């Protein structure tokens, strides 16, 4: 192997990676693609750089960040006494959309963990992300959006929302998964789901040979706030049968209405409604969800009605994100006409 082939993977521009890594090594902030969503990356060992990430996002300082590693072998540099369960899950799902919360190694910055004794770790499954981390070292990377808003799944989303606030945006095209990683805590004896994601509790339970506690909670973390992932247009989550009547009632009051739903429901809508038809396979739905919310948000409507996804385990991650998006308006008190 020559030097060039060790640096680059297919679709990765080695010079661009080196430029981005140089920015990160000097304390800069670089947005980069992962398989889930775009991340706002900074050197996980540089406190000033980590603080800049919080400032750009407008994120409260006590909300912890995920440290992104290039390989499972790096785990012991960041976690103290990682349990066997962590190694088995890493072997099964890394690189991939699973974040493990473990006891932190002594050197891990309070700025990264929000002052907690734990640290969240994952190895992203994206050639650009992996090349960047190999070149620059472990990176903190929250989703590259302002606090509480919809996560970006394209470089254009990042540019539109954060633009000049970041030093560089690496464009890796649309993210193939489209929703954030599953967050699983291995701090107590019972593996506990803190945030649903593409890796399902059933997949985790199958590797560990025991069930996952789905209740989560109790941990300060942004993804676990009731209101999150929200567009700026008020959003209502409704059962399928209620969508057409609600759309009609709002239209009659002179409001501009958008509906995001499955084909069957969007066919039953009154004229004058902006329709956004979502796929009926969960992976396809996840890949398109945030781009759809952004487009509907930009469509100039007064309200977005969203058809609730099926109430099955398979759809857990979608139920979670849509419930949080709607909760933002329950709390802010959108005046339901």
Chain contacts with Mg ion (rule: CB under 5 A): 143
C-alpha closest to that of 215 among 193, 231, 199, 191: 193
* 233 sits near ligand TXA (criterion: CB under 6 A): no
User: CB of residue 197 vs ligand TXA: minimum separation in angstroms?
Assistant: 7
Please say which residue, 57 or 287, places its beta carbon nearer to Mg ion: 57
Neighbours of 248 (CB within 10 A): 14
For ligand TXA, the closer CB: 307 or 324? 324
Phi, psi of 322 (to 5 degrees): -70, -35
Window contacting ligand TXA (CB under 6 A); options: 94-102, 259-267, 312-320, 324-332: 94-102
- Among residues 95, 178, 223, 231, which is the contact residue for ligand TXA, using CB under 6 A? 223
Strand order in the sheet with 98-103: 168-169, 30-32, 39-43, 139-140, 66-68, 118-122, 98-103, 182-185, 192-195
Dihedrals phi, psi of 256, to nearest 5 degrees: -90, 125
- Count residues near ligand TXA (CB under 6 A): 29
Nearer CB in complex with ligand TXA: 31/301: 31
Spacing of C-alpha 64 from chain mean position: 14
Structure token digits, residue 166: 């970041």
CB 292 within 8 A of CB 262: no
* Minimum CB distance to Mg ion smaller for 143 or for 181: 143
- Reduced to 3 states, what is the DSSP secondary structure of residue 189? coil
Q: Give the CB-side neighbour count of residue 42, counting CA atoms within 13 A.
A: 26
Contact status, residue 258 vs residue 304, Cβ threshold 8 Å: yes
Q: Which does 123 bind (CB under 5 to 8 A by kind): ligand TXA, Mg ion, none?
A: none
Asked if 283 is part of the footprint of ligand TXA (rule: CB under 6 A), the reply reads no
Please state the closest distance from residue 306 (CB atom) to ligand TXA, in A.
21
The answer to whether the beta carbons of residues 70 and 134 sit under 8 Å apart is yes
**Among 72-80, 114-122, 255-263, 271-279, the segment contacting ligand TXA (CB under 6 A):** 114-122
Residue 64 binding: pick among ligand TXA, Mg ion, none (C-beta 5-8 Å cut-off by kind): ligand TXA
Q: Are strands 139-140 and 192-195 parallel, antiparallel or unpaired?
A: unpaired
| Closer to ligand TXA by Cβ: residue 35 or 236 | 35
When binding is defined by CB under 6 A, the residue of 16, 19, 203, 224 that contacts ligand TXA is 224
- Strand-strand pairing, 192-195 and 182-185: antiparallel
d(CA 311, CA 297): 25
Binding to ligand TXA by CB under 6 A, coded x per residue (else -) over 53-82, reads -----------xxx----------------
Residues whose CB falls within 8 Å of the CB of residue 254, separated by 6 or more in sequence, listed in order: none
Least distance (Å) between residue 253 CB and Mg ion? 34
Residue 116 makes contact with ligand TXA by CB under 6 A: yes
Q: Which helix (H) or strand (E) holds 165?
A: none
| Binding flag, residue 178, ligand TXA (CB under 6 A) | no
Residue 265 interface partner, choices ligand TXA, Mg ion, none, CB cut-off 5-8 Å depending on type: none
Footprint of ligand TXA (CB under 6 A):
34, 36-37, 39, 64-66, 97, 99, 101, 113, 116, 118-120, 124, 141-143, 180-181, 183, 194-195, 219, 221-224
């Amino acid at each position: 192997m020559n030097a060039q082939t060790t640096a680059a993977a297919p679709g990765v521009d080695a010079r661009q990676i080196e430029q981005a890594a140089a920015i990160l090594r000097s304390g800069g902030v670089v947005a980069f693609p992962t398989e889930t969503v775009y991340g706002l990356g900074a050197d996980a060992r540089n406190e000033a750089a980590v603080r800049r990430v919080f400032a750009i996002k407008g994120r409260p300082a006590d909300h912890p960040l995920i440290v992104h590693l290039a390989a499972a072998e790096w785990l012991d540099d960041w976690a103290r006494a990682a349990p066997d369960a962590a190694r088995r899950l890493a072997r099964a799902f890394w690189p991939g959309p699973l974040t493990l919360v473990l006891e932190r190694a002594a050197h891990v910055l309070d700025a990264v963990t929000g002052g907690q004794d734990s640290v969240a770790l994952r190895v992203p499954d994206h050639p650009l992300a992996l090349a960047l981390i190999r070149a620059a070292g472990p990176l903190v990377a929250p989703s590259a959006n302002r606090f509480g808003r919809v996560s970006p799944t394209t470089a254009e989303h990042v540019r539109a929302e954060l633009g000049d606030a970041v030093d560089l945006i690496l464009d890796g095209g649309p993210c193939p998964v489209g929703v954030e990683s599953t967050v699983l805590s291995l701090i107590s004896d019972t593996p506990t789901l803190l945030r649903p994601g593409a890796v399902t509790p059933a997949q985790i339970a199958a590797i560990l040979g025991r069930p996952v506690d789905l209740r989560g909670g109790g941990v300060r973390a942004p993804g676990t706030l009731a209101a999150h992932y929200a567009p700026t247009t008020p959003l209502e989550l409704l059962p399928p049968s209620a969508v057409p009547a609600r759309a009609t009632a709002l239209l009659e009051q002179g409001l501009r209405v958008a509906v995001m739903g499955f084909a069957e429901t969007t066919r039953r809508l009154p004229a004058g409604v902006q329709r956004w038809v979502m796929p009926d396979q969960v992976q396809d739905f996840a890949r398109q969800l945030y781009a759809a919310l952004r487009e509907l948000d930009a469509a100039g409507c007064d309200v977005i009605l969203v058809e609730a996804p099926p109430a099955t385990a398979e759809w857990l991650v979608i139920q979670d994100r849509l419930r949080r998006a709607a909760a933002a308006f329950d709390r802010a008190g959108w005046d339901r006409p």
